[in-house]
Every structure is written in structure tokens, then in C-alpha cells.
Structure 1
Amino acid sequence: MKTIQDIQAMLEVFVNEREWQPYQSPKNLAMALTGEVGELVEHFQWISQSESQALSEEALLEVKDEMADVFIYLIRMADKLGIDLIEAAEVKIEKNAVKYPIEKSKGNQLKYSKLT
């Protein structure tokens, strides 16, 4: 199983071979990431929740590609900024546990701030 560091190394080789380094600033990567998120969202626009959970095999493959694009740009951006995504996710989950305590949030889709 590959790690995020393995993927970062693969992306570094890919970018270097194409001499794309000058274009891979955090700003540009954030903009590219936003575009890819938009392409992912397009697959779910105007369909119901139940339809979104029962995508055709073709649609699921397209969603998979878009999710990979989002993941790739996010990993590349984290690499450029020196951010450990695993550590950042762990810290964020801990923050969310405090921000959204079980007794106030369980079974409620509203943000905690709207509950108080």
C-alpha cells in the first residue's frame, strides 16, 4: 500500500519530467483544486440523494477520476506548503470533537454553532 509520501514522490517526478515546477505555486494549485472540485460536484448536481448513492458504473468511474484529481492537487499543495495531511486531519478531527460534542450534535445535521 502506498503512503501519501509515496504519492508525493510520484507527483514530484511527474511534474519535474514536464518542467511544470514554475506553475506549481500554492496559489495555482489551490485554483486548480477548486476547478477539480467543481468537476466532481457536476456529477451530483440536480440529482437526488438516492440517485447520488446509486451511480452507474460509468458515472462512478468518472467520479473516481475527479476524486483522484482533487486528491492529487491537495497532496501537491500540502507538499509545497510543508503540511503533513495525516497530522492535519488528526488535529482537525480532535478540534471537531470539541466543537461538535456528541450530546449536542448526535443525530443533528446542523452545525453546533446553530444549536446553541
Structure 2
Amino acid sequence: MTLLLVALGGATGASLRFLTDRWVQARHDTGFPWGTLVVNAVGSLVLGFLAGAALFGASVPVLQTALGIGLCGALTTFSTFGYESVRLLTGGQRLFGLLNVVGSVLVGLGSGVLGVVLAASIWH
């Protein structure tokens, strides 16, 4: 059952990642990887919320497995973030590369904290 939950969440997350990235990038005519930033921020928010729910006693293992491991694992992408950062830094867009590295880390951490805070406002 666990494998099925991870697989279903992963298939959903990968599909959402692809569609979201294409949708966001189509609206921004820059070399900056906005789509990757958005999916990583959303995934960090969801994972922070799930972690916060567990922290405050509202743990739902089925949802944590399907959404936390499956959906967020496939939705978010450290490898693409790394690749895009290196591509920008070595491709003459150093400012975008630096902004991507710093911005992604700050947005990811902020989104995760916001998720925990939202969970705390519900269950604490």
C-alpha cells in the first residue's frame, strides 16, 4: 500500500511539476527559471505544512506518505535547480545564477516555515 501511495503521489507531482513549469515559464520572457522556483516553493510549503501537522499532533501517515514523499518528492527538484544555477552562472548570466541560488534557498526555507506556521495556526 505504501508503494502505491508514493507512486500515485509521485505521478501527480511529476505531472504538476511539468505543467506548472511550462505554464509559469510561458509567462516570463527571461532566462530566469521561474517555473522551478515556483514548484520548489509550493513543495516546501506543503512539506512544511505536513511536518507542522505532525509536530502538533495531527499526523496522518497516509497523507504524509502520498503527499510528503510522493507528491513533494516529484514536484520539487534539487537537481533541476542545481543544473539551472550552473547553466546561468557559466552561461554569462551570473546575476540570474546568483539570484537563483540565493532566492531559491530563501524562498524554500521561508515557504517551509510558512507551512509549519499555517499548521500551527490550525492545530496548536
TM-score bucket (shorter structure): 0.3 to 0.5
Which of structures 1 and 2 has the bigger CA Rg? 1
More helix by share: 2
Q: TM-score, normalised by structure 2?
A: 0.35
TM-score (norm 1): 0.37
